[in-house]
Amino acid sequence: MLQYLAIGAAMLLSAAAAAEPATPAMPAWMSGCWVQERDTRWSEECWMAPRAGVMLGAGRTGDGDKLRDWEAMQIMAAEAADGSARLEFWASPRGAARVRFTQSIAEMEGIAFVNAAHDYPQRIHYWREGARLKVRISLLDGSRAAEWDYAPMGGGG
């Protein structure tokens, strides 16, 4: 009798696990601090490793000793309207209200997030090329693209 109860409990747990959407893998490959420098202009972006279902990031850009822009960011799992689990990218430029971008499932290297209702950008795409972290922001159709080519901060790239 006990073995039937154990089998039944295992079946119920399996069914419950199957009913919940699988949590997508966090882009741990983005973790670390990254820098791009061109003449006196610079851009830095740092991402904490995934922990407790969230990655926290911060970025800043400047020219020489002058800060031009900064941003706080998060990547976390959320349930999409269709019940599937997707990652969301939240951006708060200069401390403004957070803006949500949802993971795009389109076939592309790395990870992309989209928000068609946002003025600019509408797509944020991260990928790695060797030791470098690449970022492209654009409108959904790919126009008005801007790119960053980050090396690991402290050398190594």
Q: Which domain holds residue 123?
A: 25-152
- Tens place of pLDDT per residue across the chain (157 aa): 545 434 444 444 444 444 556 778 999 999 999 999 999 999 999 999 999 999 999 999 999 999 999 999 999 999 877 888 899 999 999 999 999 999 998 767 899 999 999 999 999 999 999 999 999 999 999 999 999 999 999 865 5
Say if 66 falls within a structural domain: yes
Residue 107: per-residue pLDDT:
67
Nearest to 104 by CA among 129, 125, 73: 125
CB 88 within 8 A of CB 78: yes
pLDDT of residue 52: 93
Q: What is the pLDDT of residue 84?
A: 84
Residue 136 located in a structural domain: yes
Q: Taking the mean position of all CA atoms in its chain, how far away is CA 68?
A: 23
Nearest-angstrom CA–CA distance, 47 and 56: 6
Q: In the 8-state DSSP scheme, what is residue 70?
A: E
In a domain, 144, yes or no: yes
Q: What's the CATH number where 69 sits?
A: 2.40.128
The pLDDT of residue 154 is: 85
Q: How many domains does the chain have?
A: 1
Closest by alpha carbon to 115, among 140, 83, 78? 140
CA R_g for the chain = 20
Q: How many Cα neighbours within 13 Å face the side chain of 126?
A: 17
- Helix, strand or coil for residue 11? helix
The values of phi and psi at residue 96, to 5°, are: -70, 175
Q: Which residue is associated with the tokens 């990218």?
A: 89
As a whole number of angstroms, the distance between CA 69 and CA 21 comes to 37
Classify residue 10: in a domain, yes or no: no
Cα separation, 146 vs 96, whole angstroms? 21
Flag whether 30 is in a domain.
Answer: yes
Where are the alpha helices (H) located in the chain, listed in sequence order?
2-19
The pTM assigned to this predicted structure is 0.83
